[in-house]
Amino acid sequence: MPGENLSREEARERAAILSVERYDVALDVRSAVAPDDADGERTFRSTTVIDFRCSRPGASSFADLLAPEVISVRLNGRELDPAKVFDGTRIALDGLAERNTLVVDARCAYSRTGEGLHRFEDPEDGEVYLYTQYEPADARRVFANFEQPDLKAPFTFQVNAPLGWTVLSNSERDGEPSPAGDGEGAVSRFLPTQPISTYITAVVAGPYHVEHDHYSRSFADRAVLDVPLSALCRKSLARHFDADEIFTVTKQGLDFFHDNFDYPYPFGKYDQAFVPEYNIGAMENPGCVTFREEYVFRGKVTRASYEGRANVILHEMAHMWFGDLVTMRWWDDLWLKESFADFMGAFAMVEATQYDAGWITFANRRKAWAYRADQLPSTHPVVADIRDLQDAKLNFDGITYSKGASVLKQLVAYVGRDAFLEAARRYFKRHAYGNTTLADLLAVLAETSGRDMAGWSRSWLETAGVNSLTPQVVYGADGRITELSVLQTAAESHPELRPHRVAVGLYRRLPAGALERYARVETDVAGPVTVVDGLAGQERPELVLVNDDDLTYCKIRFDEVSLETLRGHLGDLTDPLARALAWSAVWNLTRDGLMPARDYLGLVLRFAGSESDIGVLQSLHLQARSALTHYVAPDHREEAARSLAEGALRELRQAEPGSGHQLAWARFFANVASTASDFQLLHGLLDGSAKIDGLDVDQELRWTFLETLIAEGAADASAVAAERSRDDTASGHRHEVRCLAARPSAQVKAAAWADVVDSDRLSNALVEATIAGFAQAGQRELTAPYTEPYFAALERVWGERSIEIGMAVVRGLFPRHGGADALAAADAWLAARAGAAPALRRLVLECRDDLARALRAQQCDAPAGS
């Protein structure tokens, strides 16, 4: 992996002697629009001035920089020889004084991988767009710095860009752009930022379409807060841009956080840029948040998509306080920002916006991510052990985000909402613009709640694994409950039994058929067995739902009667959150090999059509596809696919015309279509010879239909070319690449493999598209020959490519459809490569575990002798 892998110990040693006073960074990006240099990589000029102190004069340290060329290095007026002090990743700094000034002039490379300063050329109009993305440590690809979160400083940016470009950074511009000294381009200068970490500095530049708004807030004890707002996207996406909706959610979020945090938004302006070829969902750069442009919806999407975008907007906004104002000292405590942002984003969305069913989505989707991550062999405590930057990169996972958020939801139930929010307020005021650890947060929680937080932290933050809670009911002769207990279990590998604040609900069917709750008790569960007081004497329930209302983080299990009730009546649950919890529970049973996958698919076929929550419905579609692909026994896949497609088509035809449910069922039908008649219908919907009342087959839906036809051999490359001519855009190009790689041809697979594994010519977005097309679940025979080449190439790819591309290749090309042979190959590689990079081994181990889980589930779906 290119670039020095900074260790935690090195960061601690550097922070012990250095403190940074300021950065001045000047970037010249006019080369972004220059003609391609066929003989070398495209670069930009980067000049950095760093004023810093050293508590041990005479000591040595280093600055971080990843650059093709360093032109000059000057330390305290002394010219240093770049050939001697720069090794390609670090600049050696010897003989430091008490006060120091470092000046580095370099040529840095534009990125095609979404790391550093990414350059994108729009195929629709030829315009060039730039944006930065650094987390956890890619600011060093753009300017020289001390790349660790606890060496905060004010930053002053200056950007020389082509005339007419919009240029943004974290702070407001210091006056209007001025002509460059050589008459080419314009220089934008920005005011100094507040003290922030390197990884959240930002530059966005290009001929972006920009819309403006404004937020004002009056405080009783201070002046009015005025926050200029802007929202940006590429010019060619402007016709799809719904900035008004984005501004509405933004203002609602700012109101919510001001009401609850009692700390005014600290970073002046609030820009939100939707940028191309982005690797992640969004990034919380203070004052200049960046989002993946897929949140600018090119076609019709469901309400769940708007809810998801709102959640991301509010997640990033929560970071302005949790992460940007107060930042973790090292990546061990990444949860101090990501868990809180994940929780507060959902909290704010539910309480401040129209998307008030967000906790249902959280229970069904976000926690599914956490449950999966927490059962992998790489699971870790929420407070993690992060040895180096590669560890940090992989720690942006379901535990740090969604398990951490779930734990915080449990914490609110444990200490109370008022105590939790008061702790946040004290935390911000006490540590503003500083860095913290777990101990700092626990201290304020103990103050506001009056509880001993050490035991809670040990159980929930410092141990790994997920508990299972199962009801056990004893009845008397009269059929009423004499005792209801909750049994708590844990995996042998992670045996911690935790304290849970839970609600236990009792449900029964009404004469009209509805399944409704008639009794509820909230209690504390601890240890292996907890008797639930307050339910003795209740009538016999048909369903006992542990963790009703989703107060804690656990896997829900059922007694036999409750499970049978769900098999026959899951869709009759009238409460949407209870229904979402039930769906989540049966999905976990399926993944754990305790419920046959075809039983789960049967539940989807019987009850998904009546699911009112569109987000839950779309989750069910994703999970049904996963069950079909991974968990159904191979001999039954064809039959299961046919049943799913028949059910999907039935629901598609019955759905309300023009509704989100109709659109969701159309996409699902396309994804599971498997027969000649299915393909004929898809062709008809594409060419207009078939119609479904109310279904608008827009451009995005056309690509969905076409990919299935291409992968199944029911359409060819000429159809892809024709579709691309209809959609000559960046999105169209990505769809084209994916479809072409999905063709069922050995020659096609070989070319796609070479494009990704043997070449680095593709951008991150096209690598992703090529891998998605290559790894089609229905093309096992075509991809099976790549098991051996995959394991042979792993260490080379990991060593040569950026970590973002390396992760995409390792995860995306793992032979997950290869069955027992692929599992054996993974085991052999892991046994023979004990010395491989720990982050690489972790990725392979996770993929191997997913495959082993799938094989166990297949055995459950087709028991011996069936």
For the beta sheet containing 500-509, the strands, ordered from the edge strand earlier in sequence to the opposite edge, are 515-525, 500-509, 543-548
Gap between the Cα atoms of 705 and 696, Å rounded:
13
Q: Which of 433, 420, 450 is nearest to 261 (CA)?
A: 420
Evaluate whether 358 touches 331 at the Cβ level (below 8 Å): no
Torsion of CA 804, 809, 810, 811, to 10 degrees: 90
For the chain, how many helices (H) and strands (E)?
29, 28
**β-pair partners for 214:** 228
Gap between the Cα atoms of 839 and 803, Å rounded:
10
Handedness of CA 161, 163, 166, 170 (dihedral sign): positive
Q: Which of 810, 854, 819, 39 is nearest to 390 (CA)?
A: 810
- Give the H or E element holding residue 500: strand 500-509
> Tokens 């691309």 map to which residue?
724
φ, ψ at 788 (rounded to 5°): -65, -45
Evaluate whether 285 touches 321 at the Cβ level (below 8 Å): no
Gap between the Cα atoms of 101 and 168, Å rounded:
26
Q: What share of the chain is helix, strand, coil (3-state, %, to 5)?
A: 45, 20, 30
Kindly give the residue spans of alpha helices, DSSP state H, lying in 323-416: 335-352, 358-361, 367-374, 389-394, 404-415
Evaluate whether 112 touches 763 at the Cβ level (below 8 Å): yes
Gap between the Cα atoms of 507 and 628, Å rounded:
31
Tokens of 549: 């209302």
The three-state DSSP-derived secondary structure of 741-803 is: HCCCCHHHHHHHHHHHHCCCCCCHHHHHHHHHHHCCCCCHHHHHHHHHHHHHHHHHHHHHCCH
Gap between the Cα atoms of 679 and 268, Å rounded:
54
- Give the H or E element holding residue 166: strand 166-169
Classify the phi-psi angles of 537: left when phi > 0, otherwise alpha if psi is within -120 to 50, otherwise beta. Answer: left
CA atoms within 13 A on the CB side of 624: 30
For the beta sheet containing 155-161, the strands, ordered from the edge strand earlier in sequence to the opposite edge, are 78-80, 69-75, 99-109, 43-54, 18-28, 155-161, 186-189, 178-179
Length of the chain: 866
- Give the H or E element holding residue 618: helix 614-626
Gap between the Cα atoms of 237 and 129, Å rounded:
13
To the query of whether residue 307 is one of the catalytic residues in this protein, the response is no
Q: How far does the chain reach from its first CA to its final CA, in angstroms?
A: 48
The three-state DSSP-derived secondary structure of 240-291 is: HCCHHHHHHHHHHHHHHHHHHHCCCCCCCCEEEEEECCCCCCEECCCCEEEE
Gap between the Cα atoms of 721 and 742, Å rounded:
14
Gap between the Cα atoms of 594 and 588, Å rounded:
8
Amino acid identity for residue 300 in this structure: K
φ, ψ at 526 (rounded to 5°): -150, 145
Catalytic residue among 147, 307, 316, 338: 316
Catalytic residues: 316
